[in-house]
Amino acid sequence: MQSITLKGRGASKGRAEGEALVTHDAISFLSDVSVTGGIITSPQSKLKGQSVFDKILVFPTGRGSTADPYGFYMLKKAGKAPRAVINIEANPTTVAGAIISHTPMVYRLDKNPLDVIDTGDHVLVDGNKGTVIITKKVRHNDGRTS
């Protein structure tokens, strides 16, 4: 299995690992994600209907107003939050949401995470060190992945 390590900045401390869910859309945790169900609800998103729960959520940056951290916090209280967040650039409202929800978050990595991480890859996020370790899913000749 191929392993790739990226280095950047930690925005919220902690470590988490799991399956990546990747989108090229900016995300507001208050208006693009159901705060009680963890389902992406934005009609413009290619991920509409998918769950952020238990995923390593990879997206370019957050968007939204000062109420966005509350949406992130509500996801955590409902038990439907992502395990960790990876951004290209950190939006202050996403950082605040990650911190109050005790969710590891990294950003400004040495490579664009949207170019390196695919949905389904196994990812370890270390917000203490600002590192991401990606284990690429293996594609078999018969179409299976593992």
93: domain CATH number?
3.50.30.10
Whether the per-residue pLDDT at 139 is higher than 70: the answer is no
| 109 lies in some domain | yes
What total of structural domains would you count in the chain?
Answer: 1
Kindly report, residue by residue over 60-78, the tens digit of the pLDDT.
999 988 899 999 999 999 9
| 145 lies in some domain | no
Q: What is the pLDDT of residue 145?
A: 61
Question: Length of the chain, please?
Answer: 146
Q: Which residue has the tokens 């009680």?
A: 36
Q: Which residues of 98-119 are buried (b: 16+ CB within 10 A; e: fewer)?
A: bbebebbbbbebeeebbebbee
pTM: 0.93
Q: What is the pLDDT of residue 143?
A: 59
> What average pLDDT does the segment 21-30 reach?
96
| 91 lies in some domain | yes
| 141 lies in some domain | no
Q: Do residues 143 and 13 touch, judged by C-beta distance below 8 A?
A: no
d(CA 50, CA 38): 8
Task: Return the higher-pLDDT residue of 1 and 130.
Answer: 130
Q: Do residues 61 and 94 touch, judged by C-beta distance below 8 A?
A: yes
Name the pLDDT band for 141 (thresholds 50, 70, 90).
low
Q: Which residues are catalytic?
A: 65
